[in-house]
Homo-oligomer: A and B are copies of this chain.
Amino acid sequence: MTAAITGWQCSLYHCRQYARMPEISLTKSCHVQRYLSRGLNSSSSPSVGHGYVRRRGGNHAVSPDVSSLSPGFAVEFLEAFDDEYDGVIVDPNKLPSSANAFASSLRVSLSSWKLKGRKGIWLKILLEQVDLVPIAIKEGFQYHHAEPGYVMLTYWIPDYPCMLPTSPSHQIGVGGFVMNDKREVLAVKEKCPCSCPNVWKMPTGYINKVDTSFLKMVAFRHAHMLAFDKSDILFVCMLTPLSYEIAIDDKEIQAAMWMPLHEFVGQPFYEEDQMSRKVIDACVAAHEDRYNGFVAHQLTSKLDGQSSHLYYDDVLHPN
C-alpha cells in the first residue's frame, strides 16, 4: 500500500479548501449558494473585503506594512480568499491583465502575506493569461498541477518544508470480467501496441462503454512509476451484461466476442502470466460464489455531510 499524502480527514480538508477554487469564478451570490449547497460552515465563506485583501476599484492606498516596497505610487493587492490553513487562494478571475500591473501587485501581495505570517499561496492562472506565468515563476512560485484551461502555481512561505498537498498521484483503471448466463466471457483484442498479440483479454479502460451493471470489485493491481512516473491502480470488477450485443470502438479494439470460459482461461498466456492467472481465478471463483470481493455501498459521512461509496466485503463470517 502506498504511503499517501491524503487521508480521510485530509480528503475533507481538500474538499473544503479546494472545492472553493472553481467557485471563485462565480458571482458572489452563486458563490455563496454553492457553499451552502455543499453544507460548508460559515468559516468557509470567502473573506474578500476582510483582513489584508483589498477590493480592486476600492481603496487603492498601499497598506502601511508594505508601503516601503512601492514608494510613491499605489499598487493594488491581488484579490484573494483566506483558506482554513493560514493560506491564501488568489482569485484567478481578478488578476490584472497587464504584465506590469500583475508583477507589482504580486510582489506587494507576497510581501504582505509574508508579514502576516501566511503559509501556502495558491495562484491559478487561466490559459488566456499565460503571459503571467513566467512572472509568477520568476517571483518564486512553483508549478503545482495543470489541467486543460489553467495552471496552478504555489508558493510556500514558512521556513519549514512545504506541507501543501501534492497533485493527484494515481491513474485509476477498470477491468471488467463480464460473463453471460452461457458461461461465455466478454473477450477483446486490443489495438494498443503494447498489448500481447493474439491474447483475448477482459475489456479495460473506458469501461463505461460496456453496457453492464456492476456486481463487485474482485481484486486490484497497484503499480508505481507508470504514466508520468505516477502510480496506477487497476480495479478488476465483475459485471453483468445488460445486452449480448457487442459494439466495438475500432479506435481501440480490433476484435471482441463472447468466448466460452474454458477457452478464455485455456489461452497459453494465462497459464504463463502470474498476474493475469490470479485475476482470472478470482473472477471465476467470484462468479461461482466461492469468492466475495468488495461490494459498493453508498453511505453518507457526517464529516462532510456528503454521500460517497464504501467498498467492502459485506459477507461476515460467523463468530
Contact = CB atoms under 8 A, between A and B. Distances in A.
How would you classify the secondary structure of chain A's contact residues: helix, strand, loop or mixed?
mixed
Interface stretch (A45-53, A56-64, A102-110, A189-197): A189-197
A217 B5 CA distance: 18
A34 to B, nearest CB: 12
A278 interface: yes
A115 to B, nearest CB: 22
Contacts of A219: 294, 310-313
A220 to B, nearest CB: 5
Contacts of A217: 1
A225 B308 CA distance: 10
Nearest to A312: B219
A223 B9 CA distance: 13
Contacts of A85: 193
Nearest to A12: B194
Contacts of A301: 221, 273-276
B237 A278 contact: no
Contacts of A16: 194
A15 B234 contact: no
Interface in A284-313: 285, 288-294, 296-297, 299-304, 306, 308-313
A167 B309 CA distance: 23
A262 interface: no
A131 B169 CA distance: 27
A182 interface: no
Nearest to A128: B137
A173 B8 contact: yes
Contacts of A296: 1, 222
B303 A316 contact: no
A246 interface: no
Nearest to A278: B310
Nearest to A283: B312
Contacts of A190: 9
